[in-house]
Structure 1
Amino acid sequence: MQLLKVVLCAALTGGVVAHPGADIHAEVQKRAEHLANPSRRTLADCTRELHESGYYKHRLARRLERANALRAELGHAPSADENLLPRGPLEERQRAACVTDPEVTEGPYWVSGELIRSDVLEGTQGVKLNLDINVIDVSTCKPIPNIYVELWGCNSTGVYTGVVAKTNGVGLAAPQEINNSALRGLQATSANGTASFITVVPGHYTGRPNHLHTIIHHGATKLPNNTIQGGTISHVGQFYFDQNLLSSVEKTAPYNTNTQALTLNSQDQLFKQGQGGGDNPVVQITQLGNTVESGLYGFIDVGVNPTARRNPSPVNFWTANGGMPNRASFWQGYPWTKKIREVIGI
């Protein structure tokens, strides 16, 4: 961690941002170190146990049921055909994608203190994504109930809410973003280890392809204000999307108004590393209607070691009064420069 901080601080001092800009060397190094860990376990190590326990069969049935329920909301008839789910070998469609701990760093746009809620849209425009995140303990090969999954991502034009920064899409032109909590939230896992969210497919931004962020919390306490406190964090990761799907999404409004430079999955080193060691961080997608604008159903399996301890650093906190800077943040100084403090009035 100390080496990571040194590398990242050097990048920031030189005017290059590790996560939102073109230089992601610190995050690449972190991922490489994890892949080289001889004690690392992945969901691939649980294939036999999950198959024999009936997990894959149950998951496949759950996904078909969920897809049909969402289709019904759009007025479409249900289908008993498993081909309604993403194409490929049956075993792969059962298994879905998988990632393990940790994939990458949290980046400079994590806002701590978000609300517990499934629907994080708050009126955000874009291709609606109903996302199931299934969390599995790689040490026991069983789903983990009653833990919190945190999810956040940028909007359709590549802007993160809750943060004002020169490199955050519109830069300093939208100081009101500091008080915007859309596309951020937490959800508890069910008895089957699933946390469900309603969000949008994220847009792209300079230097990175479309992706979502996640953090897995264990042992946290739910507070009266519908947030969590305490506990530990086992996983910090990112989810990606098939490039062909993204090509269709990016042609729709408001994605097609995004003026930031487009980065493809194939051009992103973090995406390439995310597929290392048997992992697959690509969300499996089912299109619910005749077009992507009708909405999507996505699912992904996340393997974690609950005993792992990660210490991500939020750039700011979400409070009853909106966003406030975390002055002790690992990301201190970015994006909370003097100029930005003046813009947002803190």
Structure 2
Amino acid sequence: MALKNLLASVLLAAPAALAHPGHHEKVYAHAALPLERKSLAHCDAQFNEPQFIKRTVEIHGAELARLKRSLGIEEEKPKIAPRDYISVSRIDHKSTKAVSKGMDLSTLFSDSGACMLMPAVDQGPLYVQGEEIRKDITGGEKGIPLTLAIQVVDYKTCQTVPNAYVDIWSSNSTGIYVGVQGYPGMGDPKDASILKGTTLRGVQPTNDHGVASFDSLLPGHYDGRATHIHAIVYLGATKQPNNTITGGRAAHVGQLYFDQSLLTAVDKIAPYSSNKMKVTQNTADFLFMQGANGDDPIVRYAMVSNNLADGLFAWIRFGINQQANKAVNPAAWWTANGGVMNPKGPVAQLTGGGTGWGFGRKRRAAAAVEEVQEDAE
């Protein structure tokens, strides 16, 4: 009863860029498609231990309470509910649970949907290595606030992984990525100032319960891809005096997605509503289909209030192999002097070494294939 009351009290305490021209993002297919096909079902006992649930709920609940306080939401408030999310791998994920005063939050955060292996898929062509360690990555952009909590666990031992570094990046509300010059549709390919951008890019360490969280924004859609956020989990990296990380290895490379019904509602809210590019649904996205083939890459989430524009709290669990060492080839590096393009990176390969999409057009089909290494067994 005391735990139940504690969990309930934790919860209850609680300028946009123009849309770029339509384009189809290059799909970086793996030669052998070495996706992780391992289930975390064997971890159920560990994840359902009272102390594990209590600690997870405390962390997620504290984040949700912080968001509510920032909006001035008091004790008396409307009910919020975890939204239904797209069924993947023929599993019915719809939840009818309602978050209300006095409920035991462990029934929400220990939901089976919070326990999945995030498959390793493509890093994408717009990764910038060397971004700063920072929780708030919004950079003054407009959009729907998103606090994202990622828990990292070892899929073999079911133990959480502290002291890892999670690196995420995504587009803004109108589908624009900053930080990489010359990619089609991402601004003037001759504009080097694009390299100075760090918005919606950042790194966070996992705490003693394997959780890293970010204050971000819901990303916007763009032609050719379902709405997504990229993530890399680094192990053994070292924090530097300039608040970046170096060294270590990438134990996980993945992408996470959102409920399609949520995205439909988001696209009705400014500035997302100004984006006229074609929407690619999850089920039509090549990489989503790979990631959802046996695993579930869609975040679970709750609305902060009864107004979607006030923001969301979302969570997902990554199951990783701590012995893995994934190949990472960034499009650019962030340095003390700003961004620097990688002359051998995916964008350089796409453009044939030039700064615009027109360069090396004939080489696109054969270039820029980034193969992620299989986990070391």
Q: What band does the TM-score fall into relative to the shorter chain?
A: 0.7 to 0.9
Q: Cα–Cα, structure 1 residues 79 and 284, in superposed 2: closer, same or farther, change >3 Å?
A: farther
- Letter in structure 2 aligned against 1:158: G
Q: Is 2:48 the partner of 1:60?
A: no
The offset of 1:320, in angstroms, is: 1.7
Matched with 2:328 is: 312
TM-score, normalised on structure 2? Answer: 0.76
Matched with 1:188 is: 205
Q: Cα–Cα, structure 1 residues 263 and 45, in superposed 2: closer, same or farther, change >3 Å?
A: same
CA offset digits 1:85-138 (Å, max 9, x no partner): 454467674144455465211111000010011111110111110111111111
Q: How does 1:127-276 map to 2 (within 5 A)?
A: 127-170=144-187, 172=189, 175-276=192-293
TM-score, normalised on structure 1? Answer: 0.82
How far apart are the structure 2 equivalents of 1:332 and 1:169?
Answer: 14
The offset of 1:335, in angstroms, is: 4.9
How far apart are the structure 1 equivalents of 2:303 and 2:185?
Answer: 29
The offset of 1:71, in angstroms, is: 1.2
How far apart are the structure 2 equivalents of 1:92 and 1:336?
Answer: 49
Q: CA RMSD in A?
A: 2.8
Matched with 2:35 is: 34
Instruction: Find the partner of 2:139 among 113, 122, 128.
Output: 122
How far apart are the structure 2 equivalents of 1:292 and 1:303?
Answer: 29
Q: Is 2:372 the partner of 1:338?
A: no
How far apart are the structure 1 equivalents of 2:252 and 2:346?
Answer: 17
Query: Where does the alignment leave 5 or more consecutive residues of structure 2 unmatched?
Result: 1-22, 84-94, 98-105, 359-377
- Letter in structure 2 aligned against 1:34: L
The offset of 1:262, in angstroms, is: 1.1
Matched with 2:308 is: 292
- Letter in structure 2 aligned against 1:56: I
Conserved? CA contact 1:155–1:183, under 8 Å: yes
Sequence identity percentage: 36
- Letter in structure 2 aligned against 1:140: T
How far apart are the structure 2 equivalents of 1:166 and 1:261?
Answer: 18
How far apart are the structure 2 equivalents of 1:339 and 1:25?
Answer: 20
Q: Which has the higher helix share?
A: 1
How far apart are the structure 2 equivalents of 1:61 and 1:272?
Answer: 33
Q: Cα–Cα, structure 1 residues 280 and 134, in superposed 2: closer, same or farther, change >3 Å?
A: same
How far apart are the structure 1 equivalents of 2:301 and 2:349?
Answer: 38
How far apart are the structure 2 equivalents of 1:61 and 1:82?
Answer: 20
Query: Where does the alignment leave 5 or more consecutive residues of structure 1 unmatched?
Result: 1-19
Q: Cα–Cα, structure 1 residues 174 and 211, in superposed 2: closer, same or farther, change >3 Å?
A: farther
How far apart are the structure 2 equivalents of 1:160 and 1:152?
Answer: 9
The offset of 1:181, in angstroms, is: 0.7
Q: Cα–Cα, structure 1 residues 167 and 79, in superposed 2: closer, same or farther, change >3 Å?
A: farther
Q: Secondary structure at the match of 1:139?
A: coil
The offset of 1:328, in angstroms, is: 3.3
CA offset digits 1:160-203 (Å, max 9, x no partner): 11012342444537543221011101001111111010111011
The offset of 1:59, in angstroms, is: 2.2
How far apart are the structure 2 equivalents of 1:225 and 1:199?
Answer: 22
The offset of 1:144, in angstroms, is: 0.8
Q: Which moved more, 1:307-316 or 1:159-168?
A: 159-168
Q: Cα–Cα, structure 1 residues 264 and 104, in superposed 2: closer, same or farther, change >3 Å?
A: same
Conserved? CA contact 2:56–2:209, under 8 Å: no
- Letter in structure 1 aligned against 2:244: T
Conserved? CA contact 1:97–1:280, under 8 Å: no
How far apart are the structure 1 equivalents of 2:171 and 2:155?
Answer: 29
- Letter in structure 1 aligned against 2:35: H
